[in-house]
Amino acid sequence: MYYIVLDLEWNQPVSRDTHAYQKYGNRLTSEIIQFGAVKLDQNKRIIDSFESMVQPQCYKKLHPHVKRLTSITQQAIDNAPRFPQVAEAFRQWCGKDGTYVFLTWGYDDMPALESNLAFHHLDTSWINRWYNLQVIFNQQEGTDSNQKALSAVIEYYQLEQDDQFHDALNDARYTGLIAGKLDLEQGFAQYKELVNPLIVGIRGFDPPLEQIRKQGIPNKKLIYTLPAVSTFLCPECKMTLHTGIRWVHQSGDKYLFLAQCPEHGKFLLRLRIMKGTGETFMIYRTAERSTPEMETEYHIREQRELERAELLKAKRAAKEEQQKDTIQTEQSSDDPSDPEQP
Ligand SMILES: [Zn+2]
């Protein structure tokens, strides 16, 4: 088993008014422009590295903030290979699927990689297993649960910091050094209890029990009528458990549903609705075994959604009432004794 420590740098649209943002903004907002990774052996020694710039296809102009933060230049990305080529080279460098897990510093890199792969219609199944080392660091060093800058943790361990931060390969190497200080096996074993079960994202750290993908859905309304979205069969006994699923909004393009088999327990379903090519939509759905923590998070959102729906209903009723009043007031506006008159 290898550990692949990955760090990515990405570019953003310079402004929401740009043509590029209007064209791509609903499909991709963080466009990867640099890969940096190191491979660790079982003893957590760095045995190999991977680095590449990527030429952006959507947001070609380097955002001033990204330029300031990283050492990346416009020229460097202009002359770099494109994402599909770099992603394929990286995948090959990682090795055979199932022989490695990804380690990152923070929650952002793997979802960014996933959305860039999806944007280019590339396979995402090989980035299944990953762990945010911040979580393991916080637990094992007994610090608070806040996110910590890589530089602060390098300082904490009194490791040498000769290389500039916010360079993908340097950051991956620094993260690799931190991995060397942690008990990864123990961290992995406890990981599920340490993270907010819903933050981890659609894929999480365990491969899901079930994955469904559909592309080329011609319109959004149609999505919820698709059996792939609206029904659920127990992954164990294949019994149809739910039809006409009412999804609960998680955040952004993510939705959740808690399914239950009388025989095999509860499953958390996750749904993502994304823009596909042209005017079409695509969906990605997974099922995993739910945990009590997930169920709590789910019910909080479900409750919030119910309350919001109630509020909306009340508002609508009040508005109708008001309209009725206005009509009545207009009819009786010659009556100066009307107490409702402002
Ligand atoms: Zn079942």
Distance 131 CA to ligand 1 centre (A): 30
Distance 262 CA to ligand 1 centre (A): 7
Distance 261 CA to ligand 1 centre (A): 5
Note the pTM of the prediction, 2 decimals: 0.66
The more confident residue out of 330 and 245 is 245
Distance 241 CA to ligand 1 centre (A): 8
Distance 334 CA to ligand 1 centre (A): 69
104-119 pLDDT, tens digit each: 998 889 989 988 998 8
Distance 232 CA to ligand 1 centre (A): 11
**Per-residue pLDDT at 201 exceeds 80:** no
39-60 pLDDT, tens digit each: 999 999 999 999 999 999 999 9
Distances in Å between the Cα of 76 and the Cα atoms of 52, 73, 89, 169 are 10, 5, 18, 15
Tell me if 282 sits within 8 A of 217, measured CB to CB. yes
Distance 268 CA to ligand 1 centre (A): 14
252-306 pLDDT, tens digit each: 888 999 999 999 999 999 999 988 878 889 898 989 888 887 888 899 999 999 9
Distance 240 CA to ligand 1 centre (A): 9
Distance 203 CA to ligand 1 centre (A): 22
Distance 269 CA to ligand 1 centre (A): 14
**Per-residue pLDDT at 333 exceeds 60:** no
Distance 260 CA to ligand 1 centre (A): 8
Residue type at 300 in one-letter notation: I
141-194 pLDDT, tens digit each: 987 777 788 999 999 999 988 888 889 999 999 999 999 999 999 998 888 777
Please tell me the predicted confidence (pLDDT) of residue 105.
94
Q: Which domains does the chain have, with CATH numbers?
A: 2-194 (3.30.420.10), 210-297 (no CATH)
Residue type at 90 in one-letter notation: F
How confident is the prediction for the chain on average, in pLDDT?
88
- Which of 15-29, 128-142, 322-336 has the lowest average pLDDT? 322-336
In the sheet with 254-261, reading across from the earlier edge strand, the strands are: 210-217, 281-289, 265-275, 254-261, 248-251
